[in-house]
Structure 1
Amino acid sequence: MVTNRKLSLEPSQIKFKGKTIGYRHLQCLLISLTFGLLFAMRVNLSVAIVAMMDNKGANPNFPEYAWTQKTKSHILSSFFCGYILVQIPAGGWARRLGGHLLLLMSITMSSIMALLTPFSVNLGGWPLLCALRFCQGLFQGVTLPTIATLMSKWSPIEERSALQTYCYSGAQLGIVMMLATSGVLCSSSWGWPSTFYLPGVLGLLVAILWFIFGASTPRDCKHISVEERTMIEESLGHSKKSDEIAPQHAVPWKKIFTSKPFLVLLFTHCTNNWCFWTLLTQIPSYINSVLGKDIKSNAMLSSLPYITMLALSLALCPMASWLEKSKLLNATVSRKIFNTIGHWTPVISLVSLGYLRPDQGDLAVALLTITVTINTLAHFGYAVNHLDLAPNFAGTLMGIANCSSNVMGILAPLVVGFIVTDTTNIYQWRIIFSLAGAISFSGNLMFLIFGTAKVQHWNEPPRIVQETEPLKGLVIDVKKTDDEAEEGDVRV
């Protein structure tokens, strides 16, 4: 009795022969630009809402809204309420419909809704604004599972962490673009509505580029060279037959939710997002209320940590790619080293933030910059682990993890709204920063103990055990899968 398996080399045994720059890098660039503008539409409200609630210092020609801190928290959280709903099914949609179509739909609809935001808030106030942000969250909910699915088809194993980090760096690009320009935009003749118009228009332009040049897989791409396509497929161990069968491979839900490496990844992802979204949604308010900066300097200071984060992320990509190609570090060791630096170093700066005096504004900005910048190293850690554990289900794993972790995007602003009743009270902010630091520490501790970069057995479809030659006197079960077939299945 034998199985119908074919002998194959492990990824680590395959010599990498890819060109330095290829069409896969153009795909990463398009994904990065798309992701950046989607993120810009996600975070623009964090700065715009400061001007919307206090417009005298920005542009008095536009309306001002007397919203309470709790109402503000509801508005900031509404996006995530829609965002988390489609995370889990999005991975399956990307496998069946193709990542190209889903990402195109996401950027197009999000851009249209961004353009409609100023009109909606003037028409229906904060309830209609919450409803629009909820719908925008629905369309952006497919983004990360789709990117994970695209990268599982486009990124060679030897370039996995670098290419995915290039894609994720679009988030910092979008944040920088939005935070750095929002102060000027709010004070311009266009007022705070321009913080929604700018990313909306740019998003539609990028949608056109993605429609023309984007592709779900190398085989679907008309412009890629045969050599580069072959190199990618050989690195990933793909064949035409296996690619056609993969979408019909049922998701092993039970094995996923009982997999210790994935559960640890899920927990680490959640703890990272608590820290990330606490800072991203609250830095403008902290700088405005505690440090007393105006809207222009607020926007520039808020963007500074993400400028350095983007620069460090792009600078480290070649080094991470070299480490993977040279095989100097085991993948698991590499993930844990980068994740530890990215999670535990910011713990010190986060806790220190809560013990600064209001007159130590420069030091506060420096600590915020260190906290956000160093966290970018986690992109080479837990953020790539979905592709490590199960390349065939990378989108589904990312959808599950991102759904759970973005609950933090809902809870974090609500917790801030509950604890920080007086935004000028540094002692209340101390609780927020200390809590974020403790959560970040615990996430990486679990990843260090239980995390791994090994491909899990449930990544591959079950293979049928076949009888190659009838043997007299033996009864053989021929319909059992690899997991079920054991020596005990052969009976005299």
Structure 2
Amino acid sequence: MFTSMPFWILNILHFGNLWGLYLQITNAPKYIAEVVGFNLRDSGGLAAMPHLTRMFMGLAYGNIGDFCKKKGLPTKFIRKFFVIFSHIIPGILLIGIPFVECQPTIVVALLITSMGVNGAAVLTNLQNPQDLAPNFAGSIFGIISFIGGTTGFIVPAITGAFINHGNTIANWTWAWIIGGCMYIGSGLIFILFGSTKQQEWNKKKEDDDA
């Protein structure tokens, strides 16, 4: 497993996804409240909209993926095409956030849209473990989630390093750009080098039993 290139490409894809998600979950409310001047928590259900949108869009993408498979589209095409939605588009939207400056409606719309289209992760980094090794999909997901989970403290630390010099749009800009680039970069790497081919090490258990 650990010498498998597709496994490590999947790790990169999942890491980039969690980087973008943690940036939005942990830092977006602070940015909107303290820089943009709009408190999401005082706006009722609006604070939950990004997460609800992602959940419902995830269900929709799942159905779209099933439809594509029934139409005979190759799994490799489905995974790589929907990376455009799970990673590339969210990355572009995050990069755009600091450039709309103090316009809360647009900032919130960008965040909701970013989280929503990222629901396509159900067809990309969340599904690729099953492609590579169905016998070890659970183990793969545990490993990539452990590695990706490190973004939970890396992202706040990096963001904090920028805004320690002042809680301004200029200082926040690089946090959003880095987050967007992590999305886009990891997505492009998967599009170029990712695989959906079942790996040889998945068959070892079956061969031994035989």
TM-score, normalised by the number of residues in structure 1: 0.40
After TM superposition, give the deviation of residue 344 of structure 1 in Å: 0.8
**Do structure 1's residue 329 and structure 2's residue 70 form an aligned pair?**
no
Q: 1:437 to 1:295 in 2, by over 3 A?
A: closer
Could you tell me whether the CA contact under 8 Å between 2:32 and 2:40 is conserved in 1? Answer: no
C-alpha distance in structure 1 between counterparts of 2:40 and 2:186, whole Å:
34
**What's the C-alpha RMSD, in Å, of the aligned pairs?**
2.0
* Letter aligned with residue 55 of structure 2: L
After TM superposition, give the deviation of residue 267 of structure 1 in Å: 0.9
Could you tell me whether the CA contact under 8 Å between 1:342 and 1:375 is conserved in 2? Answer: yes
The answer for unaligned runs of 5 or more in structure 1 is 1-255, 465-480, 483-492
C-alpha distance in structure 1 between counterparts of 2:41 and 2:125, whole Å:
35
**Do structure 1's residue 297 and structure 2's residue 42 form an aligned pair?**
yes
Could you tell me whether the CA contact under 8 Å between 1:285 and 1:423 is conserved in 2? Answer: no
After TM superposition, give the deviation of residue 349 of structure 1 in Å: 1.3
After TM superposition, give the deviation of residue 318 of structure 1 in Å: 2.1
Q: Which residue is 1:110 aligned to?
A: none
Q: Which residue is 1:344 aligned to?
A: 88
Q: Which residue is 1:137 aligned to?
A: none
After TM superposition, give the deviation of residue 390 of structure 1 in Å: 0.7
Q: Which residue is 2:182 aligned to?
A: 439
Instruction: Identify the structure with the greater helix proportion.
Output: 2
After TM superposition, give the deviation of residue 357 of structure 1 in Å: 2.2
Look up the SS of the partner of 2:101 in the other structure: coil
Look up the SS of the partner of 2:139 in the other structure: helix
Aligned pairs (5 A) from 1:21-100: none
C-alpha distance in structure 1 between counterparts of 2:47 and 2:167, whole Å:
17
**Do structure 1's residue 383 and structure 2's residue 126 form an aligned pair?**
yes
Look up the SS of the partner of 1:383 in the other structure: coil
Q: Which residue is 1:318 aligned to?
A: 63
Q: Which residue is 1:356 aligned to?
A: 100
After TM superposition, give the deviation of residue 459 of structure 1 in Å: 0.6
Could you tell me whether the CA contact under 8 Å between 2:17 and 2:87 is conserved in 1? Answer: yes
After TM superposition, give the deviation of residue 334 of structure 1 in Å: 0.6
Q: 1:261 to 1:294 in 2, by over 3 A?
A: closer
Q: Deviations over 1:385-415 (max 9, x none)?
A: 0111111111111111111111111100111
Q: Which residue is 2:173 aligned to?
A: 430
Higher relative contact order (CA 8 A, sep 6+): 2
Look up the SS of the partner of 2:197 in the other structure: coil
C-alpha distance in structure 2 between counterparts of 1:317 and 1:397, whole Å:
21
Could you tell me whether the CA contact under 8 Å between 2:61 and 2:123 is conserved in 1? Answer: no
C-alpha distance in structure 2 between counterparts of 1:314 and 1:462, whole Å:
33
TM-score, normalised by the number of residues in structure 2: 0.91
* Letter aligned with residue 268 of structure 1: L
* Letter aligned with residue 10 of structure 2: L
After TM superposition, give the deviation of residue 321 of structure 1 in Å: 1.5
After TM superposition, give the deviation of residue 328 of structure 1 in Å: 2.0
Larger radius of gyration: 1
Q: Which residue is 1:374 aligned to?
A: 117
The number of aligned residues is 209
C-alpha distance in structure 2 between counterparts of 1:354 and 1:342, whole Å:
21
Q: Deviations over 1:108-143 (max 9, x none)?
A: xxxxxxxxxxxxxxxxxxxxxxxxxxxxxxxxxxxx
The answer for unaligned runs of 5 or more in structure 2 is none
Q: Deviations over 1:58-97 (max 9, x none)?
A: xxxxxxxxxxxxxxxxxxxxxxxxxxxxxxxxxxxxxxxx
Q: Which residue is 1:452 aligned to?
A: 195
Runs of 4 or more above 3 Å deviation: 298-301
Look up the SS of the partner of 1:310 in the other structure: helix
Q: Which residue is 1:259 aligned to?
A: 4
- Percent pairwise identity: 29
Look up the SS of the partner of 1:463 in the other structure: helix
